[in-house]
Amino acid sequence: MLLRRLAQLCGIAALSGCIPDVAPLLPAAPHAFVPGELHRGINAGNALDAPKEGEWGVTLDERFFTDVAAAGFDHVRIPIRFNAHAAVSAPYTVDEDFFRRVDWAIEQTISRKMTAIVDFHHYEELMDDPDGNADRFAGIWKQIAARYHDRPASVLYELLNEPTGKLTAPRWNALLVQGLAAIRSADPARRVIVDSAFWAAAKELANLDLPAGDPALITSFHMYQPILFTHQGMPFMPPEYATIGITFPGPPAAPITPAPGALKVEWVADWFKRYNSTPAADNPGGPAAVLAEFAMARAYAERTKRPLYLGELGAGDAIDHASRARWTRLVREEAEKQGIGWAYWDDGGRFKIFDRKTGVWDPELTAALLR
């Protein structure tokens, strides 16, 4: 079934040569869960979510928003590290100059008739000490909501990107109620996106407990599976991710030798053993891994009737380009098949699809997302 599904997606029968043709731009598919303006999006990563904008080599400018809109994206997810610009004591005042920069990014988005997602990103102190930062988290959100309560409905909030660490599912379920209360005190009807725990994992959606009386909530998960494929060779990852040459889908034409660090982690060593030898239908480096994530997300959405959103998907540039495009197309098409809006993770660096310095789009990845 999985082999047949991938063949259908790629338009050919042979998996080894699966490079889909570029078709004319298709109209938006009807959506089962996500509001229509959250159809195809892009992240403005590594800019306002850096400790200081520009510190990670990325600065937002008008051309980014102009080119994103012209390419056919309908929304921009704007990761923002508010906590790096807020006081550490009550009332946790957010720096006015930084707020004005956020104002500008929102206006750049909505003035081009795109939806803007104000995404609270990289609050690492909160992950390390949820109890010690809970009041600050709520205090910052109270300011955000008060500032943007009169913005059009095309501005959405995202409560917190990828809760993880000590912010386990039970602790996150308690904290999100506090954060939502702070928002609702100033902005009672705004749509708010809420991620699942453990890096917004699909499997953690089952443990997400949202207030039943708030109809304006959208649940979110992220897609980077199989992660040893999507994050191979990335310098910010642990040594077990150093193996490169992992193709999609597995198994490879010839077995690959894992990096030394991979063999020291039991689950990683086992993954490579199965990747090198398991037939494509069940291979951990193939479509089965992707479709399993969507199955968990779909089960949650059908059980709860909550709107569902895929806030991040992406694969790094250490991957051969054909495999990267195949994976991207499969994820995008499966999301749209299930009526799930998505946003590609563009960090302006090793996951980028758009070169923010030259204004050039990656043609294969762009085709995989938009054609």
- CA–CA distance from 155 to each of 17, 49, 182, 196 (Å)? 42, 18, 17, 21
Distance CA(46)–CA(48), nearest Å, equals 6
Mean pLDDT, rounded, of the chain: 91
Span 257-290, pLDDT tens digits: 999 999 999 999 999 999 999 999 999 999 999 9
Place of tokens 């910052």: 140
Whole-number pLDDT of residue 12: 24
* Average pLDDT over every residue of 330-354: 96
Which neighbouring-strand residues pair with 194? Answer: 219
Joined tokens for residue 290: 């992707």
Span 205-255, pLDDT tens digits: 999 999 999 999 999 999 999 999 999 999 999 999 999 999 999 999 999
Distance CA(146)–CA(367), nearest Å, equals 40
Whole-number pLDDT of residue 26: 30
Distance CA(243)–CA(272), nearest Å, equals 10
Whole-number pLDDT of residue 371: 84
Whole-number pLDDT of residue 124: 97
In the chain, what percentage of residues exceed pLDDT 70?
A: 90
Distance CA(247)–CA(240), nearest Å, equals 17
**Cis ω before 226 (30° cut-off from 0):** yes
Span 9-54, pLDDT tens digits: 333 222 222 322 322 223 333 334 445 579 999 999 999 999 999 9
292: CB partners within 8 A, 6+ apart: 225
* Average pLDDT over every residue of 303-313: 96
Domains of the chain: 33-226+289-370 (3.20.20.80)
Which sign, positive or negative, has the C-alpha torsion 233, 237, 238, 241?
Answer: negative
Q: What are phi and psi of 22, to 5 degrees?
A: -85, 115
Distance CA(168)–CA(176), nearest Å, equals 12
182: CB partners within 8 A, 6+ apart: 138, 139, 141, 142, 145
Is the per-residue pLDDT at 178 higher than 80? yes
Buried b (16+ CB within 10 A) or exposed e, 88-114: eeeebebeeebbebbeebbebbbebeb
Is the per-residue pLDDT at 367 higher than 70? yes
Distance CA(4)–CA(15), nearest Å, equals 10
Contact of 333 with 368, CB cutoff 8 Å: no
Q: What is the three-class DSSP state of 105?
A: helix
Whole-number pLDDT of residue 57: 95
Give 71's pLDDT tier (boundaries 50, 70, 90). Answer: very high
Contact of 308 with 218, CB cutoff 8 Å: yes
